[in-house]
Amino acid sequence: MLSKRSEVQVDVTRPIRGDIVGGSSADIILKQARIYASERNFSMEYVMLMRYSLLAVSELKKHPEFGLKSSEPDIMRMREAGDIACSIALDRLEVLKPLLVKRFEQLEAAQLEKRRHADVFEDSRVDGLRVLNLPRTLMARFLEKAKANTRNNLETCGILCGRLAKNAFTITTLVIPKQKATSDSCSTTNEEELFEFQDTRDLITLGWIHTHPTQSCFMSSVDLHTHCSYQLMLPEAIAIVMAPSRSPSQGIFRLTDPPGMDVIAACRNPQMFHPHDGFEGQLYESAGEGHVRVADGPLDVRASRIVGGYEERLRKGVGAFNLDGKMIDMPVVKWAQRLLAKAESIAEIDKASGPASP
């Protein structure tokens, strides 16, 4: 059970900085580990630290850019920070092991009821997924922000951000970042700003939302590949499609697993829109009601220029510096600093909370 839940995978189709810097797999995993540590949920903290260790030790090396000279400065800085954070994570794993062994022994001795005994790790999982709470007003407020683009037959996308507490996710913030769009596609630009916005507010990426101005409510091949990156980072991530001119006008989706995740992650078709022969109707599904729970709740909406001035700072040279004759940009440095801070905070939480009781 532990080994299965500790599995992690790098998205080899994205640039290495896109998967590693800022809003990356590593960052999201350590955020969750820190939260579980503060809540004294040792089993889930163990799972997250195992995922991080596997990512840092083995999975990152599978990325095709890992050995390229052009990536060396960024990779070296990431590896230096990652090595230290990984060492902290491994030390913490050694502390957690005897606590979990003792916990299992107590459960077995007490002969707890079958359901609780089978679900040692958490109390709020549905079909293996943690609950994701979605504010009831989110879709309407997104459509209002996208109205001008929709009128001009241009897609609009937004990023769903939120927090983890008591083993459940809650979307708290809808970010509509800088982007470029056509009638059937949209993509974010200047992702460093988005990553910094999320990280300074300790937000976790929980999925995305986008419009189909004139098309029906479905996941195109482009949408499938986009969402694969989100779901690789976080299995609970969702994709919301808004089709205001059609019925049904909205859908909440995720890739099937299997076969959707395996098929899309392995697909290398360079065409934007392409079929996945033999898997029609099998690659995605509506998110289950138990997994996604729509409810009243606050929502912060941030649109357009999220963090102003990054490009100007970069032009002035403030956003980059020279290292051994090569330019290193500040997002990489900030990522390394924040990664170490997150890893070290896990150990600090443990010290502050005193001896752990299983």
Residue 148: alpha-carbon gap to chain centroid = 29
Residue 235: alpha-carbon gap to chain centroid = 8
Stretch 133-156: mean pLDDT? 96
DSSP conformational letter for 21: S
Stretch 127-144: mean pLDDT? 95
* Inside any domain, residue 313: no
Query: Confidence class of residue 43 from pLDDT cuts 50, 70 and 90?
Result: confident
- Quick one: pLDDT at residue 57? 74
Q: Is beta strand 320-323 parallel, antiparallel or unpaired with respect to 326-329? A: antiparallel
pLDDT at 326 over 50: no
DSSP conformational letter for 325: T
Residues 333 and 303 in one domain: no
Residues 246 and 160 in one domain: yes
CATH of the domain at 54: 1.20.58.80
Query: Confidence class of residue 199 from pLDDT cuts 50, 70 and 90?
Result: confident
Domain range holding 288? 125-308
Residues 227 and 302 in one domain: yes
Please state the domain count of the chain.
Answer: 2
Residues 295 and 222 in one domain: yes
- Quick one: pLDDT at residue 55? 80
Higher pLDDT, 219 or 355: 219
Angle in degrees, CA 7, 12, 13, rounded to 5: 130
* Inside any domain, residue 358: no
CA distances from 282 to 180, 192, 208, 263 (A): 30, 34, 21, 10
* Inside any domain, residue 9: yes
Residues 83 and 163 in one domain: no
Q: How far apart are the C-alpha atoms of 182 and 170, rounded to whole Å?
A: 31
Residues 142 and 205 in one domain: yes
- Quick one: pLDDT at residue 114? 47
Q: How far apart are the C-alpha atoms of 23 and 33, rounded to whole Å?
A: 15
Stretch 143-163: mean pLDDT? 96
Query: Confidence class of residue 148 from pLDDT cuts 50, 70 and 90?
Result: very high
Report which residue type is found at 214.
T
- Quick one: pLDDT at residue 346? 64
Residues 138 and 201 in one domain: yes
- Tokens describing residue 200: 């300074």
CA distances from 131 to 145, 228, 229, 260, 331 (A): 27, 19, 20, 21, 31
Q: How far apart are the C-alpha atoms of 193 and 178, rounded to whole Å?
A: 9
- Tokens describing residue 282: 């099998």
* 26 neighbors 56 (Cβ within 8 angstroms): yes
Residues 112 and 199 in one domain: no
* Inside any domain, residue 292: yes
What percentage of the chain exceeds 90 in pLDDT? 45
On average, the pLDDT of the chain sits at 80
Residues 47 and 109 in one domain: yes
- Tokens describing residue 351: 């010290």
* Inside any domain, residue 316: no
Return the residue matching tokens 């540590």. Answer: 37
Q: How far apart are the C-alpha atoms of 95 and 93, rounded to whole Å?
A: 5
Residues 177 and 218 in one domain: yes
CATH of the domain at 135: 3.40.140.10
Q: Is beta strand 157-165 parallel, antiparallel or unpaired with respect to 132-135? A: unpaired
Q: How far apart are the C-alpha atoms of 95 and 269, rounded to whole Å?
A: 45
Residues 155 and 84 in one domain: no
Residues 109 and 208 in one domain: no
| SS3 (DSSP) at 284 | strand
pTM comes to: 0.75
Query: Confidence class of residue 9 from pLDDT cuts 50, 70 and 90?
Result: confident
* Inside any domain, residue 317: no
Q: Is beta strand 129-130 parallel, antiparallel or unpaired with respect to 125-126? A: antiparallel
* 294 neighbors 168 (Cβ within 8 angstroms): no
Q: Is beta strand 179-181 parallel, antiparallel or unpaired with respect to 129-130? A: unpaired
* Inside any domain, residue 78: yes
